[in-house]
Structures are given as C-alpha cells and as structure tokens.
C-alpha cells in the first residue's frame, strides 16, 4: 500500500503500509470478445472459489476479500493504493477484468497489474470513475505515468458506478490499455520483461474507494 502524488507525471512513493489487497467485481454485463483475441488461457477466475489464491486481508486502511462471487478492494485511507497479486510469473500476456465502484468518491483509480517483479515494481493500467485513464510504472519507490504528463480523460469509460471492462496487453516492450473495447493508450517500456499479474485500486484525497472485480482472465497473446 503506497501513497501516490495524485495524477502527476512522477510522484515519489512513501510507504504507508505494505498491504496487498484485492477487489470484488460485478457480473452485471457480458462484453463480446474482441475480434483480435487469440491465444490460450493461462489463468482465469470468476471468484466463485474462495481458495483460488487471492489475498483475504482486513486492516484499518483497507480490505480485500471474496464477496458474493466477486472480489473486492476497499481502500479506507486517503492517497493510498492497494493491490493484490497472484504469485505467478508470465512474459507476454493479455489481462482482462470487469470492474465497478460500489462506494467512495468518483475521483479514484482502479485497474490491473502486469509484469510485477516484486512487491514494489510493476506496470499499472488504471481508470477512474470520473473518466480518466493512464498507464504507469511503480519501480523502487517511484511512481510515474508512461507516455503522458497526467491521467487523460476519455469518453470510453462508463462513469460513476457503471461496470467497465479493462484490458491490458503486455507484449514485448509494448503496453496497451483498452477500455470497454476501445484502445485508450499505448506506450513502450522494457523495464520489466516478465512478472506477476494482479489487481489494484486507490484513493486521492477522499477515502472509501470500494471496487469490485469479476471475470479476471490472463491470455497468452
């Protein structure tokens, strides 16, 4: 769990508490498979099995657990990110998940992780409930957005508590974020060639971000 300078290009990370958490998601909508989807499934989880490997943690600053067939990340402190990883290792992957907000401010962030080489180094693909997105990197207590100076607005995001389908392609040095089937961003970075995958959610000034995740799938592209 880390404190991040909200929506900045480069923010210094101060350790608040190393606390890996994970989220619940919703089963309200089914999105069609993209036409370019290919490759075998490396891992998938609809969170109906509470022994599938995600963290189940409760602390003053947040909580992660399975709940009613989805997975939850609750962040109860300001300017904090909470994440959960599977403990696996992949190289090229396509990671997809459905996610929506059930509590907290629209000024939030949530999404997926890929190429996590340890607790403090990985790529993030995030959106917010008020319509912003970005691809970033956490490395050695530093957070920076890749290819942009600040999170960018897009009409592709379903605002408020609506469900969004998030897809992150980590293929070679190319990182691509899709939101509800629309390509939102693509950047190049070769810092992490392999690593773990996971989920992330965070707050800015207002605590209480409560995100649910469902239909988490990792493909070999």
**The pLDDT value given to residue 37:** 52
Query: How far apart are alpha carbons 107 and 208 in whole angstroms?
Result: 11
Bigger pLDDT: 4 or 90? 90
pLDDT tops 80 at residue 120:
yes
Query: How far apart are alpha carbons 119 and 142 in whole angstroms?
Result: 13
Taking only the tens place, the pLDDT of each residue in 10-55 is 332 332 333 433 333 333 333 444 445 557 999 999 999 999 999 9
Interacting residues of 84 by C-beta distance below 8 A, sequence separation 6+: 20, 21, 22, 23, 54, 55, 64, 73, 198, 199, 200
Cα dihedral 27, 30, 35, 38, rounded to 10, equals 30
- Chain Cα centroid distance, residue 192: 17
Q: What is the largest CA-CA distance in the chain?
A: 43
Taking only the tens place, the pLDDT of each residue in 89-102 is 999 999 999 999 99
**The pLDDT value given to residue 156:** 98
Taking only the tens place, the pLDDT of each residue in 128-151 is 999 999 999 998 878 899 999 999
**The pLDDT value given to residue 36:** 52
**The pLDDT value given to residue 28:** 34
CB 83 within 8 A of CB 113: yes
**The pLDDT value given to residue 38:** 54
Domain boundaries, the chain: 2-219
Query: How far apart are alpha carbons 212 and 93 in whole angstroms?
Result: 22
**The pLDDT value given to residue 119:** 87
**The pLDDT value given to residue 39:** 76
Taking only the tens place, the pLDDT of each residue in 149-208 is 999 999 999 999 999 999 999 999 999 999 999 999 999 999 999 999 999 999 999 999
CB 207 within 8 A of CB 60: no
CATH 2.60.120.560 fits 2-219, yes or no: yes
**The pLDDT value given to residue 29:** 37
Give the pair of three-digit tokens for residue 193.
């060639």
SS3 37: coil
């Amino acid at each position: 769990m880390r404190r991040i300078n909200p929506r900045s290009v480069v923010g210094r990370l101060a350790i608040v508490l190393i606390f890996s958490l994970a989220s619940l998601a919703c089963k309200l909508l089914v999105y069609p498979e993209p036409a370019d989807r290919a490759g075998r499934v490396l891992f998938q989880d609809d969170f109906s099995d509470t022994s599938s490997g995600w963290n189940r943690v409760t602390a003053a600053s947040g909580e992660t657990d399975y709940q009613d067939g989805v997975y939850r990340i609750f962040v109860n402190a300001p300017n904090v990110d909470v994440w959960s990883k599977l403990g696996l290792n992949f190289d090229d992957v396509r990671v997809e998940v459905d996610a929506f907000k059930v509590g907290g401010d629209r000024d939030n962030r949530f999404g997926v992780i890929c190429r996590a080489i340890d607790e403090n180094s990985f790529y993030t693909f995030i959106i917010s409930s008020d319509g912003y997105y970005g691809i970033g990197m956490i490395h050695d207590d530093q957070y920076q957005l890749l290819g942009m100076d600040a999170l960018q607005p897009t009409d592709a995001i379903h605002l408020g508590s609506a469900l969004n389908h998030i897809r992150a392609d980590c293929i070679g040095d190319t990182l691509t974020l899709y939101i509800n089937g629309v390509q939102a961003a693509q950047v190049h970075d070769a810092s992490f060639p392999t690593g773990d995958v996971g989920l992330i959610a965070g707050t800015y000034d207002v605590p209480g971000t409560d995100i649910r995740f469902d239909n988490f799938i990792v493909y070999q592209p």
